[in-house]
């Protein structure tokens, strides 16, 4: 009888053990499935979505980023905006001038192949790349987040063209026997001009010519300066001087070498010249003073 009871007892314990083992097996299966699902979800978020937003906050722009950009004609420019807590939203770039959608996420939406969307996964920066920009591309561009309603951050793009300036243009008058000093400035060039050429009446100036007394000093940088100096000026040095940078448009100045008795000759549009030296200036002020005194005296007499 006791043997039967022991057998029944062991059989019950065996069933309980088998039941416990089955439960553990099911539990392990659930855990494995959960881990696999979590891994798949993590991969999904890594591949297709940005980081989930921090609880209590929504997507917003980093306003510490630059909002003014300057580019050069023909040289690629990048407009950058920084978005925090993007979550499952998307970022787009819109051109304000014609309300033209340029990019959506990492995809370029416009047919203008000069524009391209740039973004590296797990970063907060969204970039609009513009190849071969022109001055007409200047204006407002907006970085938008696809919230409801959308929120945007405008940036301002200015495209500048390399320019060449000659100080004192369009005309410069110098005394015979003095030094002709011409200064040429090159601004907004993609890089300092590899070569600066000066010419007189379309002929390149020869610094080794028998005339002598001709020198050139060029300082390269963000603003390149080229100074042409011609000592002991003579009438044959008169003419049109042109400064020609190798990577920018040229500019010219007309130099007039005049006699010493007309030190301040002024050129007029009708081709005439007038002298406004110290003597004539003194006479002008004297006449004006006499006129004022006469008017005051007549007012007192009346």
pLDDT digits over 84-123, tens only? Answer: 999 999 999 999 999 999 999 999 999 999 999 999 999 9
Q: With contact defined as beta carbons under 8 Å apart, do 171 and 267 qualify?
A: yes
pLDDT digits over 57-81, tens only? Answer: 789 999 899 999 999 898 899 999 9
Could you give the strand order of the β-sheet that contains 203-204, starting from the edge strand earlier in sequence?
Answer: 171-175, 251-258, 239-245, 196-200, 203-204
Check whether 173 has a pLDDT greater than 80. Answer: yes
Tokens of 50: 């940005």
Query: To which H or E segment does residue 31 belong?
Result: helix 2-48
What pLDDT does residue 10 have? 45
- β-pair partners for 245: 196
- Phi-psi category of residue 178: left, alpha or beta, with phi > 0 → left and psi -120 to 50 → alpha: beta
- Give the residue among 106, 92, 87 at the shortest CA–CA distance from 145: 92
| Pick from 6-10, 204-208, 229-233: least confident | 6-10
- Residue linked to tokens 């003073």: 289
- Please state, in angstroms and as integers, the Cα–Cα distance from residue 146 to each residue in 8, 67, 86, 87, 90, following that order: 69, 20, 9, 11, 5
Alpha-carbon distance of 90 to 119, in angstroms, equals 12
Mean pLDDT, residues 244-265: 83
Fold of 163-258: Immunoglobulin-like (2.60.40)
What pLDDT does residue 239 have? 97
Tell me the percentage of the chain whose pLDDT exceeds 70. 68
Alpha-carbon distance of 302 to 300, in angstroms, equals 5
Alpha-carbon distance of 54 to 69, in angstroms, equals 31
- Residue linked to tokens 């580019």: 71
- Residue linked to tokens 């997507």: 59
Q: With contact defined as beta carbons under 8 Å apart, do 36 and 29 qualify?
A: no
Q: Do domains 60-160 and 163-258 have the same CATH topology?
A: yes
Better-scored residue on pLDDT, 45 or 103: 103
CATH classification of 60-160, choosing from 2.60.40.10, 1.10.3720.10, 2.40.100.10, 1.20.140.10? 2.60.40.10
Q: 258 by DSSP, 3-state: which?
A: strand
Q: Where are the domains of the chain?
A: 60-160, 163-258
Parallel/antiparallel/unpaired status of strands 139-145 and 125-130: unpaired
Check whether 280 has a pLDDT greater than 60. Answer: no
């Amino acid at each position: 009888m006791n043997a039967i009871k022991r057998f029944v007892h062991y059989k019950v314990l065996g069933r309980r053990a088998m039941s416990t083992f089955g439960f553990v097996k099911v539990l392990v299966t659930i855990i494995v499935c959960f881990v696999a699902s979590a891994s798949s979800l993590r991969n999904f978020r890594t591949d297709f979505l940005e980081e989930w937003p921090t609880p209590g906050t929504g997507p917003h722009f980093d306003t510490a980023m630059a909002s003014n950009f300057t580019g050069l004609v023909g040289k690629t420019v990048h407009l950058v905006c920084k978005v925090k807590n993007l979550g499952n939203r998307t970022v787009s770039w819109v051109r304000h001038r014609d309300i033209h959608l340029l990019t959506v996420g990492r995809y370029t939406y416009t047919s203008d192949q000069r524009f391209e969307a740039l973004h590296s996964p797990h970063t907060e920066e969204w970039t609009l790349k513009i190849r071969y920009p022109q001055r007409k591309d200047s204006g407002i561009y907006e970085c938008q987040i696809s919230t409801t309603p959308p929120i945007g951050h405008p940036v301002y793009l200015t495209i500048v063209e390399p320019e060449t300036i000659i100080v004192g243009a369009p005309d410069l008058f110098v005394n015979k026997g003095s030094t002709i000093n011409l200064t040429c400035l090159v601004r907004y060039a993609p890089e300092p001009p590899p070569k600066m050429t000066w010419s007189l009446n379309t002929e390149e100036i020869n610094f080794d010519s028998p005339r002598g007394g001709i020198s050139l000093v060029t300082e390269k940088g963000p603003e390149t300066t080229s100074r042409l100096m011609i000592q002991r000026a003579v009438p044959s040095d008169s003419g049109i001087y042109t400064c020609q940078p190798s990577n920018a448009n040229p500019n010219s100045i007309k130099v007039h070498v005049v006699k010493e008795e007309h030190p301040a000759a002024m050129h007029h549009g009708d081709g005439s010249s007038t002298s406004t030296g110290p003597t004539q200036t003194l006479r002008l002020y004297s006449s004006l003073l006499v006129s004022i005194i006469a008017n005051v005296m007549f007012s007192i007499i009346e």
